[in-house]
Amino acid sequence: MSDSRTIQLTFPEPDVALLTFDLPGKGANILSRSVLEEFYEHLQALEKRFDLAGLVITSGKPDIFIAGADLREFAAALDADQPPAALRKQTIEICTQGQSLFGLLANRPYVTVAAIHGISVGGGAELAVWCDRRVFSHAESTQYGFPEVKLGLMPGWGGTARLPRLVGLGNAVEMISSGESIDAKAAGLMGLAIDVAAPAELVPAAIRVVRAEQQSGDWLKDRQRWTGPIAISETELGFLGATASGYIQQHTHGHYPAPLSALEVMLGGAGVDIATALKMEADAMSDLFGSPVNRALINVFFLTDRNKRDTGLAKPVAPKTIESVAVIGAGIMGQGIAAANVRRRIPATITDASPEALRRGVEKVLEEVSFNKTIKGPDAKRAFEFGPLLTPTSTDAEVARASLVIEAIVEREEVKREFYSRLEPLLAPDAILASNTSTIPITQLAAGLARPERFVGLHFFNPVRKMPLVEVIRGEKTSDETVATMVAYAKRLGKSPIVVGDGPGFLVNRLLLPYMHEAVQLLVEGVPLKAIDKAAKAFGMPMGPLELYDIVGLDTAMHAGAVMHSAFPDRVSDSPLLRALYGAGRLGQKSGAGFYSYRNKKKRAEPDPTLDEFIRPLLGGKSQPEKLSGEQLTDRLFLPMLLEATRVLEEHVARDARDVDLGLIFGIGFPPFRGGLLFWADTLGASAILKRLEPYKSLGARYAPTPMLLEMARRDAKFYK
């Protein structure tokens, strides 16, 4: 047996073995190749014991059972750049080996029980379904699921074959095709968990299950039953297939093939024995692994993983701990920021110049933090628990007690600077002052401050509760310690911070504006509004750019556009169409009309014939609208964004291509199945991008190749090295 310390074998009782997964030096248990080999060695060693009544499998980690397979090993297979046939063969072999290994748990001469506390996902969840029984911890951290579809894959170690036989085909289809996790209560209701216990009682509860199963013999009957087809009528099977397929198509829009593939495997595997179902699973996995969507989603996984470890600095700097926060401004953004702090049990003070706005803001914060997903409404117990952490105030003195003050007031430089000059003298010397500005340069705002090294941009995205991104913007004098402290603080809020350099629009808004600006340009060239938004959504954006204008507000867009026009007049023009709509009071969703009309009961976007009155005078006498193909519209919308991304890299506004891609995915919903803007660009290649730019030379600087792109084409280089 190997001398590895990953899996500890003990005997809590003479005839009950306990295998405890505890990967040394890591926060999570991962099923790497070496760990799987060690697991096999343990099972082989236990085969020599003829007196065992049961085997219990658990974890030594605080809140993780097993977090799945080692994705770095999977990525290495992709990096090997094998021919498709070789990669397909290797994938089938890996699946078959995993199925065979975990299958040992279902044919040992003793009861096998998974004792699950904390996160159990992917390969860890598959290991558990091969056990005869499962006992769950009732802790909130216990979450069980099959998230493989979120990587463009499906379970490949028996999950699609075993889970339907344990919990029913309908439950299995929902879990595997959605990729969402369930808690212990849900696991108990569907029969996945035979018992739910306190974390400290988990192993004793599992041993009791072993004793009960040895007495009843039910485990042997279930083993036999689970090797055969699933008892379901053709009518039920057809109905489930039709409804699940429709639901998946509605949510994926055809961009993500894995959920449908998993559905087909589970439906097909229902009518055959488990050995055949396992072969179907391995074959289907070989079609998915290495596909463009799989490669893109694995890239997003690694972007996220990198961000969790990234301090935002080249050299390590110890961050300070933020003990309390004050939020200035009780509007939508201020409410969201305050709620994010309270939810993480960071005391928050909130203030506003308007007493009525402050009252409403406090109500909204308490409403948000007391929301209970189970009852789908406010929970009095949660309100009582979180209420004392929120303090409304109208005095600067109370605000100044906080170790971090976040300003989220009107987007006007003079108003912000007046507030800073009033508040900064009251702050403790080591307190940090931050602005939630989305466009105004931080160095500009810091002018006149006594301690500019303690001033930083902290740009949250709306709605704060849903959007994971936070831009940490450093001005010319912002210190490394301030940056490190804000990165650590944002992560404490459960956010994904990226550190960016100063400048108009920072990173995300600077890249978003060319895309939105181009949509308006296309309108005044005669391209139908519906065609523009349809092209963006076909590319994978969550909504079209013109609908996004309406949600953001045309007044806000006008202000941001003016900032960008002032900074980059050669690439961003002052739009006469936007000015005309703004002048007519068409501000978007909030005013009932913008590019679309919202004057309906549900206030949803619908075409507005009166929009033509604003567009027609700007068409320049064109009698026929422009007819552009879907690919041409994609180029017009996304190539300016891509070129701007090369500029922010050239100017070191963004530190790395990975920050650009993570920022756009988490900040504006750039389609994850494309892997990120620059990952997508790499799939095209720099030379191909230059060719796609050529037809648009006449449109000016916004389509001009940048030095970085030209050099990349010359060297056949990629953004991801």
Q: What is the pLDDT of residues 45-92, one digit of tens each?
A: 999 889 999 999 999 999 999 999 998 888 888 877 789 999 999 999
Question: Quick one: 480 and 525 in the same domain?
Answer: no
Residues 6+ away with beta carbon under 8 Å from 338: 325, 327, 330, 348, 350, 361, 365, 390
Pairing of strands 325-328, 371-372: unpaired
pLDDT, mean of residues 191-215? 97
Q: In the listed set 470, 496, 522, which residue is the last one of a domain according to the structure? A: 496
673, part of any domain: no
Question: Quick one: 482 and 541 in the same domain?
Answer: no
550: nearest Cα among 505, 607, 495, 498? 607
Question: Quick one: 362 and 276 in the same domain?
Answer: no
**3: pLDDT strictly greater than 50:** no
pLDDT, mean of residues 423-436? 96
H or E stretch covering 11: strand 7-13
438, part of any domain: yes
Q: 623 falls in which pLDDT band (50, 70, 90)?
A: low
Is there a contact between 565 and 701 (Cβ–Cβ < 8 Å)? no
**687: pLDDT strictly greater than 70:** yes
Distance from chain centroid for Cα 578: 32
User: Residue 79 burial (CB < 10 Å; 0-12/13-18/19+)?
Assistant: exposed
Query: Residue 16: which domain range?
Result: 7-290
Q: What is the CATH number of the domain that holds 464?
A: 3.40.50.720
Q: What is the CATH number of the domain that holds 648?
A: 1.10.1040.50
The residue among 563 and 699 whose pLDDT is bigger is 699
Residues 6+ away with beta carbon under 8 Å from 518: 545, 636, 637, 640, 702
2: nearest Cα among 33, 29, 48? 33
Question: Quick one: 267 and 357 in the same domain?
Answer: no
Q: In the listed set 496, 530, 551, which residue is the last one of a domain according to the structure? A: 496
Using alpha carbons only, what angle is made at residue 72 by residues 126 and 259, rounded to the nearest 5 degrees? 45
Instruction: Give the burial string for 137-167 (b: 16+ CB within 10 Å, else e).
Output: bbbeebbbbbbbbbbbbbbbbbbbbbbbbbb
Q: What is the pLDDT of residues 229-275, one digit of tens each?
A: 999 999 999 999 999 999 999 999 999 999 999 999 999 999 999 99
Candidate list 42, 459, 517, 565, residue with the active-site label: 459
DSSP classification of residue 616: G
Question: Quick one: 180 and 105 in the same domain?
Answer: yes
% of residues, the chain, pLDDT over 70? 99
Question: Quick one: 487 and 513 in the same domain?
Answer: no
Distance CA 332, CA 338 (A): 10
The residue among 371 and 233 whose pLDDT is bigger is 233
Question: Quick one: 90 and 233 in the same domain?
Answer: yes
Q: In the numeric block, which tokens belong to residue 302?
A: 């690694």
The H-assigned helical ranges of 344-412 are: 355-369, 380-386, 396-399
pLDDT, mean of residues 339-366? 96
Q: What is the pLDDT of residues 646-682, one digit of tens each?
A: 999 999 999 999 999 999 999 999 999 999 999 999 9
Q: What is the DSSP string of 191-222?
A: TS-SEEE-GGGHHHHHHHHHHHHHHH-HHHHH
pLDDT, mean of residues 692-708? 95
pLDDT, mean of residues 202-208? 98
Amino acid identity for residue 222 in this structure = D
Is there a contact between 457 and 475 (Cβ–Cβ < 8 Å)? yes
Distance CA 719, CA 658 (A): 9
Is there a contact between 408 and 331 (Cβ–Cβ < 8 Å)? yes
- Sign of the CA dihedral with 640 first, then 645, 648, and 650 last: negative
User: Residue 88 burial (CB < 10 Å; 0-12/13-18/19+)?
Assistant: middle
372, part of any domain: yes
Is there a contact between 58 and 98 (Cβ–Cβ < 8 Å)? no
pLDDT, mean of residues 702-715? 97
Q: What is the structure's pLDDT at 247?
A: 94
Distance CA 377, CA 383 (A): 11
Q: In the numeric block, which tokens belong to residue 283?
A: 């074959």
Q: What is the structure's pLDDT at 713?
A: 97
Question: Quick one: 254 and 330 in the same domain?
Answer: no
pLDDT, mean of residues 448-469? 95
**625: pLDDT strictly greater than 70:** no
1, part of any domain: no
74, part of any domain: yes
Q: What is the structure's pLDDT at 622?
A: 59
Q: What is the structure's pLDDT at 195?
A: 97
107: nearest Cα among 273, 223, 218? 223
Is there a contact between 434 and 458 (Cβ–Cβ < 8 Å)? yes
**3-state SS class at 28:** coil
Question: Quick one: 268 and 400 in the same domain?
Answer: no
**1: pLDDT strictly greater than 90:** no
259, part of any domain: yes
Distance CA 550, CA 592 (A): 9
Q: 588 falls in which pLDDT band (50, 70, 90)?
A: very high
- Sign of the CA dihedral with 325 first, then 327, 330, and 334 last: negative
Q: 621 falls in which pLDDT band (50, 70, 90)?
A: low
% of residues, the chain, pLDDT over 90? 87
**536: pLDDT strictly greater than 50:** yes
**3-state SS class at 144:** strand
DSSP classification of residue 104: G
Q: What is the structure's pLDDT at 151?
A: 96
pLDDT, mean of residues 193-208? 97
**620: pLDDT strictly greater than 80:** no
Is there a contact between 352 and 361 (Cβ–Cβ < 8 Å)? yes
Question: Quick one: 539 and 585 in the same domain?
Answer: yes
Q: What is the structure's pLDDT at 530?
A: 94
pLDDT, mean of residues 392-421? 94
Overall number of domains in the chain: 3
Question: Quick one: 471 and 397 in the same domain?
Answer: yes
Please give the C-alpha separations between residue 178 and each of 239, 252, 268, 642, in angstroms, as whole numbers: 18, 10, 18, 31
316, part of any domain: no
Q: What is the structure's pLDDT at 112?
A: 98
Question: Quick one: 159 and 105 in the same domain?
Answer: yes
Give the 3-state secondary structure percentages of the chain, helix then strand then coil, rounded to 5.
55, 15, 35
Residue 459 is among the residues annotated as catalytic for this protein: yes
Q: What is the CATH number of the domain that holds 210?
A: 3.90.226.10
373, part of any domain: yes
Q: How far apart are the first and last CA of the chain?
A: 40
337: nearest Cα among 470, 441, 482, 427? 470
Q: In the listed set 290, 315, 335, which residue is the last one of a domain according to the structure? A: 290
Q: Could you give the strand order of the β-sheet that contains 7-13, starting from the edge strand earlier in sequence?
A: 7-13, 16-21, 54-59, 111-116, 133-137, 195-197
pTM of the model: 0.92
678: nearest Cα among 643, 652, 651, 653? 643
